[in-house]
Amino acid sequence: MSRHDRVLLTIGNNAYPSCGEECRWPLKGAVNDSHGFRDHCWDEWLVFSAQDLSDADHFYHWAQQASNSIMATTTVVCFQYSGHCRDQDGQAWLIPCSQCCYCTQGKKEEDHANLQTILEHLCKNISRGTKVIVLIDGCRVEEGQQQHDPIRHEGVLRNKQILLVYACRRGAMAREYTNTDGSVNGLFSLALLKCMQSCDTLPTLLDKAKETMRNLDRLVGAQNPSIPQNDFQGYSTTPNFFKADVHAYRRMNLYSIVCEFILCLAVAGMCLQNVAGSIKDDLEALQTSMGSIEMNLADSILNKAKNERQHFENRYEETQKKLEEAKKRISSLTSEKRECENLTTQLKINLESLSESSAEYSKVKKQLDEAETKIIDLTQQIRDTTDERDQLNSSSTFFKQELEKARERLKKASLEHATLQKQNLGQHRSMREMNLTLQILTKNVERLNKQTLDHALCEETKADMQRELDQGQQKLQELQEALNQQKGDVEQYDWSMCKRLSRWCERWMST
């Protein structure tokens, strides 16, 4: 059978809070029961295992998860629960670990998980011929006066074949049993696990489980499994679905190892693909960031070159204006000095023709002194203006040289900016093309991975199985080498797969 032909949902609740002296029966073996069913059914069933659920919604969530994996070819679905539970007004309630069974007074019904609702979620996708087995290892202390009818066949459960088996009869307590190695199990679950492989039918399994319970602990021999109602067609001849096919297991063991290796390598490939995709995204983000930084730097250099050019142009123009003004002042002062010199010459001629004792002589002498003083002042002004003109000439030459340099820097920065912008456009175009190519490759890889997984999970013919057995040792060695190469990258992603594979390898070697 395929693993999807049989689906098991097993839940064990141990971690109930202590409620003081009233809590006389704390549970220790419920999780061990769940693990026992999980380990027994792992090879031939699709197993969903959960422990210490603290909320009623968690029960419904796990039932929905198991239901999503049920296919049209599924022949049997089993729900196994170990933990505190109670019956009230014809309803069975499973108690989450957030509460204790002795603290149920005053609690709302929504605080507990309803068995009817769990089965409705679990059986939503099963076909009409699928058989449902419900194993409840918990107490049945009833509250209320209604007749106990834990499963109502209505809605989703209409016309479904459901076998409900309790660990004890109505109103009784379910007990735990301490093994010789100190481990603890529920008495009912332990008896079932001991008898599962030796019985061919379900009625035989339950009868032998009762006998085993009496042999395990004669002091609690009054605890007997109970079947409140039987909806199985042909219950007396229903096979024991929990009995493992040892010969089929030996035939399938090597093929399962090969398939698990393929699955492991596929998972490793997908993990490495995810890592590569993450690194690629980081690299693209870094490249984008670097491109942005380069563009910002190029923009800054270009703007700085433009500002320098504008600055030197302004200074050069300003210097040229001052130089023209200085030249005009020199020309004006020179003309004025020339006029003063002509006036001085004329005054000297006039002064020679006059007598020193005359009044006119004193007047002309005064005018001559003023003219000579003015000539001296004009000469000094011309000298100062000439120095200023020479300095402006030097500044103008300097600013002109710097302006030429700034123009060269601006031209170079413009070329670099244009080149970088063109490169960025090309990189963006290349990145878009690479993204399109990567999407195509990703789709191809996903398709190949799906084909690999489908190939690993599909049933092989007898001839293919024989060929796999003949070539198994060689493939096992090759795949082991490949797995060792991938191990360093796979460790942080799927250790559980590697542990399960190791366990199967040891079992195969022992068989």
* Cα angle 505, 509, 511; round to 5: 115
Q: Which of 208, 278, 244, 200 lies closest to 45, judged by CA?
A: 244
Q: Which of 65, 139, 52, 33 lies closest to 96, judged by CA?
A: 52
Name residues of the chain where pLDDT drops below 50: 106, 249-252, 456, 459-461, 490, 492-493
| pLDDT tens-place string over residues 477-493 | 666 666 666 555 545 44
C-alpha to C-alpha distances, 362 to 22, 354, 355, 366, 368, nearest whole angstrom: 142, 10, 10, 6, 10
Give me 441's structure tokens. Answer: 């490759």
For position 290, what pLDDT does the model report?
76
Which residues, in sequence order, are CB contacts of 216 under 8 Å at separation 6+?
177, 187, 190, 191
Strand partners, 456: none
For position 132, what pLDDT does the model report?
92
In the chain the domains, ranked by start, together with CATH numbers, are: 3-243 (3.40.50.1460), 245-340+366-511 (1.10.287)
For position 436, what pLDDT does the model report?
76
Q: Which residues of 263-277 are buried (b: 16+ CB within 10 A; e: fewer)?
A: bbbbbbbbbeeeeee
